[in-house]
A and B are shown apart, each in its own frame.
Chain A
Amino acid sequence: MAPTRPPPPPNNIKKRKEAPTDPQTNASKRYKPTDHRQKTRDARTLSTQTSSKAFKNGELDVSAFVKSRAFEISALEEGMARSKKALNRRAFQQVPKELRRRTASHNVKRVPKRLRERGKREMADDNTPTVTARRRKPTAHMRLRLETVKKLRALGAKRKAGMDRVKVTVADPNGAPPTKSTDSAKDKQQPAESTTAIKARTPKIKKSLLATPPVPKAKFRKRQIHKSWLPTHLFHAKRARMTAPSAALWRFSVPLTPTAKSYRPTHRASHERGAVAWDMSYIATVQLEGREGSLIGMLKVLGVAEEELIGRKGEKWRQGRRALENFVYEREAPHDPVAPVTIIWCVSAAEESAGMAGKEKRNRKLLLRVHPSAFYQLWEELLRLAKVAKPAVSVEDLRFDIGSLEITGPGGTEALLSALWPSRTTSEPLAVRDSASTAMDIDSESRNKNTIVEETWSSLAGLTNPAMVPKNALLAFNVQDPRLHHPPRTIKLPKTDAEQHKLLELIASWPVDAAQQPPELFDRKARQAASATMPSQKAVNRRKGLAAPGQYPEPLPKDPQIPVLLYTTAPSTTDKGASGRPPPNSSSWTLLTPWKCMQPIWYSLMYYPLSTGQQPRFGGLDQYRQLSFEAGKAWFPGDFPGTKAGWEWEYAERRKREAEWRRRPKGKRVSFERVEVGEGVRGEIGIGWGCDWERLIGGALVASEGEEAAMNVEKAAESGDKSAENGKTKAQEEPKEPPQQAPSKPPHLTQLSARQALALLATPPATPPATTTVKLPPHIHLPSALTTVRLTLLTRGVPQPCARIYRLPSSTANPELRRQWLALLPTDTHKPTQKRGGKHALPRGLPSTGEIPPHVVQQRLAQSLLEPVRAGEEGYPSCPGEGDLVGFVTAGSYDLAAGFGTGIGSLLVEKVMGREEEAGERHLCVVRNSGTGVARLGRWEVI
């Protein structure tokens, strides 16, 4: 029964024509339109002519001969054309990966211009239905809804008209949002045009209250009930995988990863060529305002180091010329770590005039930027501290007020430069300006002090690594609306040596430090004015239309002045790349700007044609984690399980991995209870799908109930006896729904800073930890203090998240195993990066074919006897026992920057301190991936 032609559609109107089939071969033969193989086979068949047909009654004459040849030529030509067409792809299929859109197959306007004509023809050819949402005939259900909407609109209009008759417009001269009486959105834009304006009381800013997300447009309101969108949500939602609607991350809808493949492209864009940008608006911003003395007191309680607060080291930071990243701690007794926080002081206007005492007294502002997972913890802490502080400090939540983005990669500065046109520059626009001359302007004495920041910014063209400017340097200025200069053009970059030299001189002298005015971003009114005066896209388009062709519209005095604050994030000097060298480019720019101004800036960035080709890429959360992993930096919250936020993250990850594990059939998932974990023990230590810190701290006896039960289920099922079966059915229901909320963090679990950890590790092994000279704060419970480390594997292997970290067995307890592990230690220092052949590979440089002379084989044999054993061979050391378990890997994979597997994890400090170690054996460890029996030798270093 061959499938016959499909039944004709009921209304006899074919939606699509069938693909053009071969006209001359078997016109009667029909096949399903999806039968591509048959289609290509048909297309490739060449038509032939038999000689009896070509030569009538078997006569050979010249004309028949010529005709038969002519037939052959046409048959071959047609065959070639046909087979080419069969292979042909439609216009939208030929688009490069990053330009593909799902909608392109239905709407020819989504296809790049050069393919549009062809696409149009193709769509006409096969009758592709192209409907836009606007012109689609609504379904019956939709029609009902639309009618309801229409009615509601009419009602609303009537109500509004009634209100307008009696309305008194309340205008606010400061550009603050109108008070509650005028709640229509339109009035915010154009207050007081017709009616008499009454001067309104400036609304009191509610301090110490959590900010509410901005009210979204009615169309999008229902989708943001339990979460908020980032300002660039629409951009990302089209191009990236977002968090699931039900599982918002930190109450935001966050892009996780671009839809296009991006692991290697992201690495390349950030390290070699290009740029990667993130919308980091989910990072929370808090403003503190008060006397400098009380602010410093507050910061001190939060755990900011003394030398920063009063010493000379932190002077520039305190003046507001640098940003500072610091870990903050709770005020109460256990002093739990909260989160790393970026602290930025506002430059005070009258600085020189005040003396030391005056400095203490004057009012200052500072911004704290913290990851949203730790925001509430920090917020509570700040409120408590602000109440206690004398004189009082006001705390203001600027979460939905200030948005931010981060951009890294060699092209990042360039892209930012094209997006941010300072408003105050009087000279020609940036794109046509000669950067050499600007550098000269700055050097010259006739410079205008007001525009020095702007000029410095404009002359940073050619900077490929933001780490070159002074570390954590700040730049604050106002910029024009980037939509006026859209689409962006490639800026002029310095080419000659002299220009490069100027740039270097500028960076070295860094004139911004002396000239930075108080950033307007700290000023609520400036922020609101900028947001409120942003013209509509329509108005921008009109202005662009009026401008001369090829020219950008002239700036007007009424244009919004968007306050921006830029700072660089560079790896600290102690940080090094995973392979022991500093990563070539791990620094980035962070841009703070009012929430509502984020979107235009973002679009200008994303469409900037980089001088090295392509455009900046955008990244999701996964890319952010990938790059911080490649730079060897710990990522908050994932790599800080000792904090509350990190603990919750770990719990969420654990649940995710567990669900994944459970989804698989039993035969195809790791059976954790059978894994050999060393010392002849079978069964994974703790929970196989998580970093089981509870077990590590509490020992084997104390285990969390739910998860351990889940693991036991598998064990019981394995044993297979009747009672176990019963137990299984009972126990299986229990772990099915693990608690939604993460269980609270073990009370003493804490995360030590690198400095504390290094000090503890430096204590000589002889002295017990209780009597160390290290001034460890008494509240720290050493048996449950973690520190974040970076791991490199010395032989082979790639650590995965949840991998177990063991210390080497001590020479007293198990000297044999220790010796075996130490024998694996490569003798050369640069061994891990060397090319390692396959398991049984012969050395390189041998003839690949032909006979290998016997002496070479013997040599090789002798060499292999001397070489350390490989995993899987006899004599490969087994994993140390659970007593030597010291920590877990929180992030690990093959590191594209280093060229081998690295990882980031946390260790229990107490278990690794005071070990007898020779110089070569320092910080050695054994890493075993969860669910596997093979362990690898590695080395860790505190970060």
Chain B
Amino acid sequence: MLLLDFRDGRREGPRPTRIKAAYVILLAITLYHAALTFRWLHLPGFYDLAAALFGRIGLAVIQSLGWKG
């Protein structure tokens, strides 16, 4: 299915380079997370970034409301 879409001009005509670049970036992020899942890499992932950005604020808010975990 993935490769079917990449065949340039197969269905909807040729795409701009930025679309192809976005396709490659999305696949690269996917492979990066697959590597994290199989523990081939030990680097921060999608949810680590979210926890770093929003985790402390969220925890502070709900602890102020009496949440004990």
- The answer to whether A and B interact is no
Residue ranges of B at the interface with A (Cβ–Cβ < 8 Å)? none
Instruction: Point out residues on A near B: beta carbons under 8 Å.
Output: none
